[in-house]
Amino acid sequence: MAKKKSHKPSNVIAQNRRASFDYHLLENFEAGVALSGWEVKSLRMGKADLADSYVLMKDGEAFLLGSHIVPLDTVSTHYVTDPSRTRKLLLNKKELAKLQVAVTQKGQTCVCTQLYWKGHLVKARIALAEGKKAHDKRDSQKDKDWNRQKQRIVRDNVKQ
């Protein structure tokens, strides 16, 4: 009998795959996210979307904008649930200063690439990024297609 592979449960809640296509990701940071109770419950059910999210630096603090957390149907009616509200990111002063300098002086932007569990806490992986030009996007698409084609060739040749 074949052994069953035990899959370790993934701690990733949501990913922003579009970010790596639109930007050159330069440096990653790990930030805590200030959430309310209904948001944590929704995240446990995997109801999050980071498609158009970005990080805004304001008054020396970082905020996550554009992330969408769908409220559950079981949430009581006395909560005001705003799915796309602005959420505060928790970083230390050195990281905030580094982000502020990069965003203002160097012309870079800051995007959220992933939400994940770290123990019982929700963390956000944010990255400093530079925008890609159209030709860079075409090149990365060609590379991705070629790698996929190589995998198909190897897989088909191994079977025979």
- What pLDDT is stored for residue 131 in this prediction? 83
Better-scored residue on pLDDT, 7 or 12: 12
- Residues 29/124, Cβ–Cβ less than 8 Å: no
In the beta sheet, which residues pair with residue 92? none
- Residues 42/72, Cβ–Cβ less than 8 Å: yes
Calculate mean pLDDT across residues 20-39: 88
Tokens of 124: 């956000």
Name the residue with tokens 């123990």: 119
The rounded percent of the chain whose pLDDT value lies above 70 is 89
- What pLDDT is stored for residue 20 in this prediction? 82
pLDDT at 3 over 70: no
- What pLDDT is stored for residue 160 in this prediction? 59
Fold of 12-133: Small Protein B; Chain: A; (2.40.280)
Q: Alpha-carbon distance 81 to 65, whole Å?
A: 16
- What pLDDT is stored for residue 6 in this prediction? 52
- Give per-residue pLDDT as tens, 85-117: 889 999 999 999 999 988 888 878 999 999 999
pLDDT at 125 over 80: yes
**Domain locations along the chain:** 12-133
Q: Alpha-carbon distance 148 to 154, whole Å?
A: 10
Tokens of 102: 């990069």
pTM value? 0.74
- What pLDDT is stored for residue 46 in this prediction? 85
**Mean per-residue pLDDT over the chain, rounded:** 84
In the beta sheet, which residues pair with residue 36? none
- Give per-residue pLDDT as tens, 69-84: 888 776 555 666 777 7
- Ramachandran bin of 132, using left for φ above 0, alpha for ψ from -120 to 50, beta for the remaining angles: beta
Strands (E), the chain: 12-15, 23-33, 48-49, 54-58, 61-65, 68-69, 87-90, 109-118, 121-131
Coil vs helix vs strand at 109: strand
Q: Alpha-carbon distance 127 to 50, whole Å?
A: 13
